[in-house]
Structure 1
């Protein structure tokens, strides 16, 4: 079914207007022939009545279920509940469809279709056998997968390629706004897929920035965006830098211990770098047989991406070339990172920088995407 047909069958007039308006583009696109409008009964049968045994994830606005379609395809069905007053859930639903039906890249999740049933909205994706990067990185031995250096390298490069595509190859450009480990899905070959485009924004007419309400996840949130709402592609670069440090270290973005209290990975990486002990950040589970020079380069690129001054952060295409050593970063100066470490700092014109970090936050996910991946 053509995506234009989805308007009459799937969306309210308000949703239709939003879809046409976002990006100023026609709804019909090159990938529309792959987009299906599913019936509620079809998805209900596929997920065994959205049973608990089929549930594979929980998001801020609903749950994700594994489903088996009549044609034998295995899918992930994200069920969203719309808040009548704020229409949250609806906006993210529209944004996800608008964005993903126009994009095709091996490192972006594939949206197969949608469904509307009462106050519920359903998004249907290709099923990712290995769930999310967060689950594998932080799930310990329970997930049965141990990420060696080559896998971490391939995942890092794949995410970088996906973001470079969004930022620089797609017209108009797209900013994701919520890059984090739980929004990176992994297929059976551990190929990364950037997911959850509910917060994404489209940059029209070569705009350098747009102003929005602040959204994202604390710990991955670029400080200049958090305090001003001024959205640029560099906020994704910052989040990617945090994610890269997370992939290499295997550590959570925020950690708590009795001696130091809450400790941010960005802070720890900067301190290790300043102490000239950069390899201490590499996850011990990788073992001893890994390319030290490459590991150092990846950590340095991560730190370059989280520099406090947004203008000093590389564009994603440049960061990718740095990772592959097509751009030599030997001798490149790295300035201190920026960090928003207190919810009270958000949009109040305050910021926390290094070496001092005294503010505390209540939890990592205090500011989160209304659509989380199926982790």
Structure 2
């Protein structure tokens, strides 16, 4: 659309190229998905030399000027008041030159309305309730909402990426994870593609939701829903005041939520997905303290893994199942083992670490019938008379945690059975055996994913 007689917008967000005709300028704009508008630039007064100005970011400071120039606004057909006849050979309708101030004001109002709609349409590429398809978003939009990746918007960073807090036009807050250039190795790009592929087909209330992504030029960016309370490890391993903010009821609710999310991954979505890196740092909490499983850069479709086509190794000491850590045998029961460690850490406020120290401690208390001593000392214990059900449930969770960390995968229950055990507080539970029997040795080589874990990039 040609908007005549205007002072051209501020060129801070524009690029200027000399020696380019207006027709060439139009071609460049049409070839650039981020182009919002273009105009001719008179490089020298009184000269025939022309140039091209292209705006790919927010357009500001547009004013009517009788001595002004033409601004060529890029729009979709649906944004024109009059439909475009596809047979008339014209790409844009021409707005007639206005002769009165009233008409000029009307034109400017239309321009501002179009710009506003255009901005809303671009930012709308980050949907609030996405379908099973995750759409890409252009880099200009990401730069706009993050203040061109302003340092003041950083909410955390790790060795491979930086996370920015961003706010959309309607006020919704999102998290933008930008991979560092050093992380864009062949494997890093592969992990990025895997995370988008896996997350695009998963929708569950206990999984962090991928809203959109950007794969433009050298940039690899993931846009997620924002988790106000950050990661679980802050609260179970933090100061006494932080640990006290997660009362027993909340901790049990978080454990239930994680179990339901893992159950969905293991078959509830119609596919079998192994996360392979479950740990408190990859469990994020929203503003209502609901748990969301995050960091799917290392997750793989189980059907693909059975072919042996992908040998990526990811070991987080203290959370990896022994058969995977030592023999690289990967099954759904590997996630069950990691979940069991999370249960015991969440209730105790103690880290397991590579020495399996926590598992040894829990088993010792279990044999002595003193598991109540495992519970986090930063929390007030439930009173046996006023809260008898809560205390029983906490003990039951510890028993389930021990079942999950059994040495042999076949001795561990399926995650679907664990969800039933947690929901049915009176059902019979098999007696666990000492999980320390064959886990005294650890691998001398620990491997990490090329993508950062969200335990690091969400810490401030």
TM-score, L = length of structure 2: 0.64
RMSD, aligned CA:
2.9
Rounded Cα–Cα distance in structure 2 between residues aligned with 1:206 and 1:372: 22
1:190–1:178: structure 2 CA closer, same or farther, 3 Å change rule? same
- Would you say the 8 A contact 1:203–1:210 is kept in 2? no
- Would you say the 8 A contact 1:82–1:90 is kept in 2? no
Q: Which has the higher contact order (CA 8 A, sep 6+)?
A: 1
Matched, 1:268 2:268: no
Structure 2 match to 1:349 = none
Shift of 1:205: 8.5
SS at match of 1:254: coil
Structure 1 match to 2:453 = 372
Rounded Cα–Cα distance in structure 1 between residues aligned with 2:307 and 2:133: 32
Matched, 1:218 2:317: yes
Structure ID, larger Rg: 2
Rounded Cα–Cα distance in structure 2 between residues aligned with 1:274 and 1:175: 32
- Would you say the 8 A contact 2:132–2:200 is kept in 1? no
Shift of 1:285: 2.2
- The one-character-per-residue Cα deviations of 1:124-182 (angstroms, maximum 9, x if unpaired) are 00001111111222222575961111100100000000000110222221000110101
TM-score, L = length of structure 1: 0.78
1:299–1:41: structure 2 CA closer, same or farther, 3 Å change rule? same
Structure 2 match to 1:287 = 380
Rounded Cα–Cα distance in structure 2 between residues aligned with 1:275 and 1:121: 52
- The one-character-per-residue Cα deviations of 1:57-81 (angstroms, maximum 9, x if unpaired) are 2234111111112342210011113
Rounded Cα–Cα distance in structure 2 between residues aligned with 1:123 and 1:177: 20
SS at match of 2:292: strand
- Would you say the 8 A contact 2:134–2:211 is kept in 1? yes
- Give the alignment of 1:187-206 within 5 angstroms: 187-204=286-303
Shift of 1:265: 1.8
Matched, 1:146 2:245: yes
Structure 1 match to 2:186 = 87
Structure 1 match to 2:407 = 308
Query: What is the aligned counterpart of 1:184 among 271, 283, 301?
Result: 283
Shift of 1:284: 1.7
- Would you say the 8 A contact 1:31–1:103 is kept in 2? no
Between 323-332 and 48-57, the greater mean CA deviation after superposition: 323-332
Structure 2 match to 1:43 = 142
Runs of 4 or more off by more than 4 Å in structure 1? Answer: 30-34, 82-86, 141-145, 205-211
Shift of 1:236: 0.3
1:166–1:277: structure 2 CA closer, same or farther, 3 Å change rule? same
Between 49-58 and 92-101, the greater mean CA deviation after superposition: 49-58
- Structure 1 gaps of 5+ residues are 1-8, 10-29, 256-261, 347-365
SS at match of 1:189: coil
SS at match of 2:187: coil
